[in-house]
Amino acid sequence: MQAFEATNFYFDQAAKELDLTENVRTMLITPDREVRVEVAIELDSGKIGNFIGYRVQHDNARGPFKGGLRFHPLVDQDEARSLASLMTWKTAVVDLPYGGAKGGVNCDPNKLSRGELERVTRKLIEKIHDIIGPHKDIPAPDMGTDAQVMAWIMNEYGKYEGFQPACVTGKPVEFHGSAGRDAATGFGIAIITREVLSRLKRLVAGTTVAIQGYGNVGSHAARCLAGMGARIVSVSDAYGAVMNPEGINIGELDRHVAVSRKVVGFKGGDAITNEQLLTMSVDVLIPAALGGVFDREMALAVQAGVIVEAANGPTWPEADEVFNQRGIIVVPDVLANAGGVVVSYFEWVQNLQHFRWPLEQIQREEERKLVDAFGEIHELGQRKGVTLRTAAFMKAIARVGRAHVLGGM
């Protein structure tokens, strides 16, 4: 099964509950537009670097397309299609006036110099600037892209369309970005973890947590959860994992990672494998790296009671079924990691207003959005006797479908 099929599998589970007709189902799952462009640049060596870029615009019934740009060797059309569709449902779950899109460039940013990365970014925007924009499609960071890449996008877009900071979100704070955007997804993961634990009559304080992936999302989630009193017993990155049953000192880990760029070698814990992290006995497991982490076999081995999906698409449908049968609660990506797009929305609003909000206001509003969304989805799930994932898709499909009806064909 490929990523887009997996997303549509979850869509269909909810569609069955909603009695969607086949035509409406087809209309809602079919992407609006798919673009594939050649991104050829001059490398530092003087040779030509050939890359392929993608942008899939899935649905814009509720507002402009919105979604990240990923620079990664696994980026392809199917992945972009799946993630674009997830964005449609995610923006609807948290009730933002957006649709869904996703894209990226098939490249390994670790093997590109800063100059090459800038040229890849500018070439991509040269190719797609006419289909993006503040009221058309607003890109944001994802794996392999950061605030600097977003700044280059704003600058390149401006060459064609004039000064329009709202054309992209996730920009540096001192360059039309928003306070709190960097930490937004990880902060949101901590809020959602607190909410799901509260429904189980449990507190964050003292809860044991393992986090796969110590990049932007994983590290901010670790800091926020540790700040709320959780015991972060294990974290990993692409090179390996560390574990400390007493709880990892996150401040010390951050100092180690700042120097070595890896969690491996951290003296405040023991080295373990990534697989050991995923199957250890913890209260909460947070996948915050790549998609497709849990297959059936891995789902049978997981010992956590709650999974909070910080990554996009970490669970294949076969694994989701096992989690359900085993009573493991899964907070789905479309709800769990929506904090990033919520604060992207605040950045867009600030750019359109040419006005800045303070960090306290942003975090307060983000928390309110996520608490409300979690409450709605949890209540719907309880009332209909379905999982949080199916409830989230039901809520999102109903909202997007309603927008199509109100807007007219």
Crossing angle between the packed helical segments 181-199 and 339-353, to the nearest 10 degrees: 140
Q: Which residue has the closest beta carbon to ligand NAD?
A: 215
Q: Is 237 in the site for ligand NAD (CB under 6 A)?
A: yes
Residue indicated by tokens 């493991």: 328
Q: Is 336 in the site for ligand NAD (CB under 6 A)?
A: no
Q: Which is nearer to ligand NAD, 214 or 345 (CB)?
A: 214
Alpha carbon distance 265, 64 (integer Å): 45
Interacting positions 106-165 with ligand NAD (CB under 6 A): 141-143
Q: Is 328 left (phi over 0), alpha (psi -120 to 50) or beta?
A: beta
Residue of 117, 311, 377, 386 interacting with ligand NAD (CB under 6 A): 311
Catalytic-residue membership of 136 = no
Mode of pairing for the β-strands spanning 48-59 and 100-106: antiparallel
**Total binding residues for ligand NAD by CB under 6 A?**
23
Report the Cα 145 to chain-centroid distance in Å.
13
Query: What type of residue is 25?
Result: R
Q: Is 288 in the site for ligand NAD (CB under 6 A)?
A: yes
Q: Within 13 Å of residue 215, how many CA atoms lie on the same side as its CB?
A: 17
Q: Which is nearer to ligand NAD, 142 or 195 (CB)?
A: 142
Identify which range of 113-121, 198-206, 306-314, 369-377 contacts ligand NAD by CB under 6 A.
306-314
- Of the candidates 66, 102, 123, 369, the residue annotated as catalytic is 102
Q: Which is nearer to ligand NAD, 53 or 340 (CB)?
A: 340
Q: Which is nearer to ligand NAD, 8 or 312 (CB)?
A: 312
Q: Which is nearer to ligand NAD, 222 or 289 (CB)?
A: 289
Residue of 106, 207, 312, 390 interacting with ligand NAD (CB under 6 A): 312
Which residue from 148, 93, 103 is spatially nearest to 127, judged by alpha carbons?
103
Q: Is 236 in the site for ligand NAD (CB under 6 A)?
A: yes
* Residue 220 C-beta: closest distance to ligand NAD, Å: 8
Q: What is the 3-state secondary structure (H, E, C) of 101-135?
A: EEEEEECCHHHCCHHHHHHHHHHHHHHHCCCCECC
Burial tier of 327 (Cβ tally within 10 Å: 0-12, 13-18, 19+): exposed
- What is the contact mask toward ligand NAD in residues 245 to 284, using x (rule: CB under 6 A)? -----------------------------x----------
Q: Is 188 in the site for ligand NAD (CB under 6 A)?
A: no
* Residue 333 C-beta: closest distance to ligand NAD, Å: 7
Q: Is 290 in the site for ligand NAD (CB under 6 A)?
A: yes
Alpha carbon distance 317, 384 (integer Å): 20
Residue indicated by tokens 């180690």: 256
Which residue from 148, 173, 158 is spatially nearest to 125, judged by alpha carbons?
158
Q: Which is nearer to ligand NAD, 191 or 310 (CB)?
A: 310
Beta-carbon count within 10 A of 328 CB: 18
Which DSSP helix (H) or strand (E) runs through 41?
strand 33-42
* Residue 278 C-beta: closest distance to ligand NAD, Å: 9
Q: Which is nearer to ligand NAD, 340 or 401 (CB)?
A: 340
Query: Which residues contribute to the site for ligand NAD (CB under 6 A)?
Result: 141-143, 185, 212-218, 236-238, 274, 288-290, 310-312, 337, 340
| Residues forming the active site | 102
